[in-house]
Amino acid sequence: MTGKARKVRLTDAVVRKLRPGGTEYIVRDIRVAGLGVRVRPSGHRSFVWHGTVNGRMVRTTIGAAALMTVKEARIACRALLDGSHPLCSEDPAGRTAVPLFRDFVTEDWLPAQRFSAGWRKRVGRMLDRHLLPAYGALRLDRIGRPTVERWFDAVSRKTPGAANMTLALLRKIMTAAKAAGHVRTDPVAGVRPNPRRKMTRFLSAEEIARLHRTLDQLVEKRPSCRPQADIIRLLLLTGCRKSEILTLRWSEVDGDVLRLAEAKTGPRTVWLSGAAQAIIARQPRKGSAWVFPSPRDPAMPQPRNLGFWRRARREAGIEDVRLHDLRHTVASQAVARGVPLPTVARMLGHTQPTMTLRYAHVGDREVEDAAERIGKIIHAATTSHTSPIDGKR
């Protein structure tokens, strides 16, 4: 921070108009002594205060400007001045009390995370919808396991899947808070997520052929559906996540590979088969940055909701199959044909091969064939003088 902080009468409109500069700076309020807005080069704005508390000079962050108004910031400052704010209390070691949940998340935890753009938006939604309303105004050490369990049960009654994802996010935040010394115990430890439906659905070879025939028939009837049909084919040929194909840019296409800049687990390379290369090569270039642009606005990617998929799976007789199950299918077909799990993990962009085990299902027919082959070997070993296994009598 350089230069002398200028003073203005802070309003919500003034705070919104503050723009980032090359260095961090603070704009002070002329109405409440010590109150200011800190603007970082990243564009993040937060209310800050400095003054004397219990005879000590305190410089602290009140909260993110995106999450509170100037009026709320002034109220917090007055609470600091009259001794009723949590920061006015001290722990036995004489240090300032631990931060509020929202301050720790927005000021410390979130800026340190290396999320892709897509995951950063998803995390932001979970924070805004669930965690900040529930815990934002609480000090980290005031969040106990009973509080977490009541919150989790309430969210689970409406959206069990979203509750699980948000619980995992809260677990990461509280783990970081414990590592930073703000809490002694993790209140999320021991809170069990909701049981998940086992994801064992994948397409058999016959179903894959049937799906392709259905796609051909639907495109023949309605040629405008070809881009969505090609997205489905590409998902099945590459094992990519839906978001990776929907937001695929021409700049990421490099011959026989895709060099994805913002995949879920970070930048990664996807190798393309000849069939996959042909699908990408036949997409028209209309001046859009996207391989599959929105039909309404070429400046935007294809919408996430592929309505065409619902019709395709219905007419193909696979209504219980989700788009993500195409990714399962790629893993299952690879494993069934002897591709090593580490190789499959790299194909799917997994950082841990154990993640691949969730997707690498093997169908009943493959298990039956394997049992038959092994059975013949064992039977031959028990009926022959010379074992075909070890070659010994």
Contact 263, 241 (CB under 8 A): yes
Encode pLDDT of 330-385 as tens digits: 777 777 677 676 777 777 777 666 666 665 555 455 555 555 665 666 556 556 54
Report the distance separating Cα 183 and Cα 198, nearest Å: 35
Tell me how far apart the alpha carbons of residues 364 and 139 are, in angstroms, rounded to a whole number: 53
Q: Which CATH superfamily is domain 6-96 in?
A: Integrase, DNA-binding domain (3.30.160.390)
* pTM, 2 dp: 0.50
Reduced to 3 states (helix: H, G, I; strand: E, B; else coil), residue 261 is coil
pLDDT at residue 388, as a whole number: 46
Domain boundaries, the chain: 6-96, 107-179, 205-321
By DSSP bridging, strand 6-8 and strand 25-29 are parallel
> Other CB atoms closer than 10 Å to residue 241's CB: what's the count?
20
CATH architecture of 205-321: Orthogonal Bundle (1.10)
Per-residue pLDDT band at 171 (split at 50, 70, 90): very high
Domains 6-96 and 205-321 share a fold: no
The predicted structure's pLDDT at residue 386: 46
CA dihedral 121, 127, 133, 134 (to 10 degrees): 160
Tens of pLDDT along 36-63? 998 888 788 888 888 776 666 667 777 7
104 alpha-carbon distance from chain centroid: 20
- Which stretch of DSSP H or E encloses residue 124? helix 117-126
For the chain, the average pLDDT equals 79
Judge contact between 350 and 367, C-beta under 8 A. Answer: no
As a whole number of angstroms, the longest Cα–Cα distance in the chain is 99
Q: DSSP states of 161-201 as a string?
A: HHHHHHHHHHHHHHHHHHHTTS-SS-TTTT-PPPPPPP---
pLDDT tier for residue 151 given thresholds of 50, 70 and 90: very high
Residue 188 has pLDDT above 90, yes or no: yes
Residues 215-256 pLDDT 10s: 999 999 999 889 999 999 888 888 888 888 888 999 999 888
CA distance 141 to 164: 22
Q: What pLDDT score was predicted for residue 109?
A: 87
